[in-house]
Amino acid sequence: MNILKSSLFKYINLSVFGKLYFLINISILFSAYSFFYNADYWGDEGHFAETISFFSDRTISEAVQDYPEVTPPLFYIVYSYWGKIFGNEIQTLRLLSVITGLFSFLFVYYIFKMTTENAKASFFASLAIILNPYLLGSHLFVYTDSLSYLFLLIIFYAVYLRSNFLLFIGAMGSLLIRQYNIFILVAVSGYAAINFLHIRNKLWIKPLIVSFISIIPLLYLFFLWNGLAPKSGLERWTTGNEAFNFRISNLVTYITFLAVYSLPFILFSVKSFWQFFKENRNLTLTVIVISFLYFFFPVTPSQVTLQMTGFETVGFAHRLIKVIFPIDFLEHLVLYFFFLLGLLALTFLFSGSIKKVMKKNVDYLVFLDLSVISFLLIMPFSYQVWEKYLIVILLPFAIRMLKHNNND
């Protein structure tokens, strides 16, 4: 056993903080798995388990043609094969989520360590990320977010290493689990295109080609479904009245709760943050004026959510704020504060990336900013809005706040 532990630690190249994080990671995931071992289906877990059984009873070619979900089939295929081998009981399916979480959470630490080169900071930053209730929960129960997150982490790792093979694996896998993961390929393509225009190195054309090729399987599914999702899924999970347009209230919601869930990282940078806006008073005033947009497009759940569930909040944090501040005026005052904070943080970071691009210093930090920007520009087109969707950009946003001194 000692030899196994030693080999594992050596393989993943962990420092003392890394080893401690690894042990905490295992303890959290498996103790939580034991605690919830006999728990009933959690939220959407029930219908995901049903769809996994649906895939288990059919060939892949039959199942993918039409099934009662609005997300692509890779998650259901992987879990159905796991179920065929180890059993379709919910406890067995949850175990795959826990194992996925083990790899993903180690990946989170490794990416922090790789970019910050600080084991101690990476340790605390990683804990702040993985203890997010949505990220932890999605790796305890049977949710599509688990595999989706792992593939997105592979993309972040691949771009850092400039590995087109890993980029292809991550991109194709993420798109075959969630359509909206296209946001990361927009960021990859933008990053590659800017670098190519600046240095005219043909190596930057390859990520563009890889990004395009990775979309082809999803495009085939769109053709097969004659739409963006299976017909049965659309009938079950939409009202039929969803228009494809940009919802400003969704953008406001994501910026607001990005600040909520990233508050420790914003506070870490508060000194530089404050100095930047003292030196750029006109920009500060502009951001404050823009922030009043909140009162025209406040945080609000989607119409589909209201009609199908009756929920009047967009997630845990919103629910907590509503409980603490039951008066609507106070609730929205608090949410406005976080929206303003989110706008200021984004302005602080993006201004740094703009300087880098102008100086032709388009590094990995610019890619991280592009991933956040593309998420905020693409996700408001969705008819659904939930806090949990933010988990995919908490890592790049956190790294940028930790690396804010590299803005120039």
Q: Amino acid identity of 313?
A: T
pLDDT of the residue at 10: 45
Residue 286, CA distances (Å) to 10, 115, 290, 361 in order: 51, 32, 6, 27
Residue that is written with structure tokens 């879990």 in the block = 79
What is the per-residue pLDDT for 11? 41
Q: What is the mean pLDDT of each run of 10 residues along the chain (408 residues)?
A: 44 74 95 94 92 95 95 97 94 97 95 92 95 95 96 97 96 96 96 89 91 96 95 84 82 97 93 88 94 95 78 92 94 97 95 90 94 96 92 96 72
> Of the candidates 310, 303, 408, 395, which has an alpha carbon nearest to the alpha carbon of residue 116?
395
The predicted structure's pLDDT at residue 4: 40
Give the per-residue pLDDT at 306. 77
Q: DSSP characters for 319-347? A: HHHHHH--SHHHHHHHHHHHHHHHHHHHH
- Of the candidates 132, 133, 137, the one whose C-alpha atom is nearest the C-alpha of residue 42 is 137
Which of 66, 73, 54 is closest to 232 using CA atoms? 66
pLDDT attached to residue 407: 57
User: For residues 285 and 289, what is the distance between their CA atoms, to the nearest angstrom?
Assistant: 6
Rounded CA separation 390/145 (Å): 11
pLDDT of residue 13: 59
